[in-house]
Amino acid sequence: MHRRTLIAFAAATLATGSVFAQAYPTKPVRLIVPFAPGGTTDIIARVIAEPLGRALGQSVVVDNKAGAGGGIGALEASRAAPDGYTLSVATVSTTAANPAINKKIGYDPVTDFAPIINIAATPNIIAVNPKFAAHDYKSFVALLKKEPGKHSYASSGAGGIGHLQTELFKSLTNVFVTHIPYRGAGPALNDVVGGQVPIMFDNLPSALPFIQQKRLIPIVVAAPSRLPSLPDTPTFKEVGLEPVNRMAYYGILAPKGTPKEIIDKVHAGVKKALEEPAVKKRIEETGSLIVGNTPEQFADQIKAEYEIYKGVVAKQKLALQ
């Protein structure tokens, strides 16, 4: 009798969970952005939030939780209830670079989340303030070699993709510039545009408007080929630095244990949003490429990128100060 009761209870629990997932969502969904407003992660999140909300039938509210190179927001997202009402934006910084360098980050990017979809792949770029003496790649590297330690670069945070990719760039070119970490790309960009820091390694969408306004000068870009928006800017591969020629990604994660029915609903909602011409146009205008892959494909991508950056950290003997 006791065994039958347990079986009946388990069946009822599963049925209740299934009904709950089918009814989802019945209230607004929170989308954690683990960086400050103004950066690429925030831009992509806000482009997708409204159409995703329409697809789900509930509003999707963007919540910026900056700090620790994205680690604070990602940790909060990993600890959220697996009910679909707290999702988060995944970046290379939060799912690969930062966990690779920060052993105390508090979450495992592979096991503590349920990947849903990679929204877009985004080029990364080194750009400088117009007052910086070098405005092209050759003179940029020559100046840094001539004046080691004199210059500094900004990133969205210690352990982020901008930090690790710049450190990789430094090791391959034998230059030295000082790292100035910020609480997101937005604040970092403000200081580079304002001239407080001369150099930044950033994701293209947040830097591109300033480049188009000639408030930043592009030096070199991480992309499969030269970009139509920056036809005169070489790729890292062109200048002989293929290991640095890695694009960023922006996807959506749920906490581990989130029911498959909810994962599928959010995935379908994002796919529907990406089919909207205005959404597609807005994302592609940033220089990003729409991906829209499956949860399984995104999970494999996260695993692969995490392994790559663990290798970078080990090879370059990097550690957080």
Answer yes or no: are the C-beta atoms of 34 and 89 closer than 8 Å. Answer: yes
What DSSP string runs through 115-155?
EEEEEEEE-EEEEE-TTSS--SHHHHHHHHHHSTTT-EEEE
Total residue count of the chain as it appears in this document:
321
What range defines the domain where residue 111 resides?
2-121+248-316
Burial of 226 (0-12, 13-18, 19+ CB in 10 A): middle
Q: Pick from 182, 212, 244: which residue ends a domain?
A: 244
| Domain at 217, CATH number | 3.40.190.10
What is the average pLDDT value for the chain, to the nearest integer? 92
Select from 221, 244, 267 the last residue of a domain. Answer: 244
- Whether residues 104 and 136 share a domain: the answer is no
pLDDT, position 161: 87
Q: pLDDT tens-digit profile of 263-305?
A: 999 999 999 999 999 999 999 888 888 999 999 999 999 999 9
Pairing assessment for the beta strands 178-181 and 152-155 based on DSSP bridges: parallel
CA neighbor of 207 nearest in space, from 217, 197, 195, 196:
217
Q: Is 173 within the bounds of a domain?
A: yes
Question: Within a 13 Å sphere around the CA of 61, how many CA atoms are in the beta-carbon half?
Answer: 8
Instruction: CATH number of the domain at 271, please.
Output: 3.40.190.150
DSSP state of 197: S
pLDDT digits (tens, 9 = 90+) for 60-105: 999 999 988 899 999 999 999 999 999 999 999 999 999 999 999 9
Task: Specify whether 20 is located in the same domain as 108.
Answer: yes
Residue with tokens 């749920």: 254
Q: Which two tokens stand for residue 169?
A: 């760039």
Number of structural domains, the chain?
2
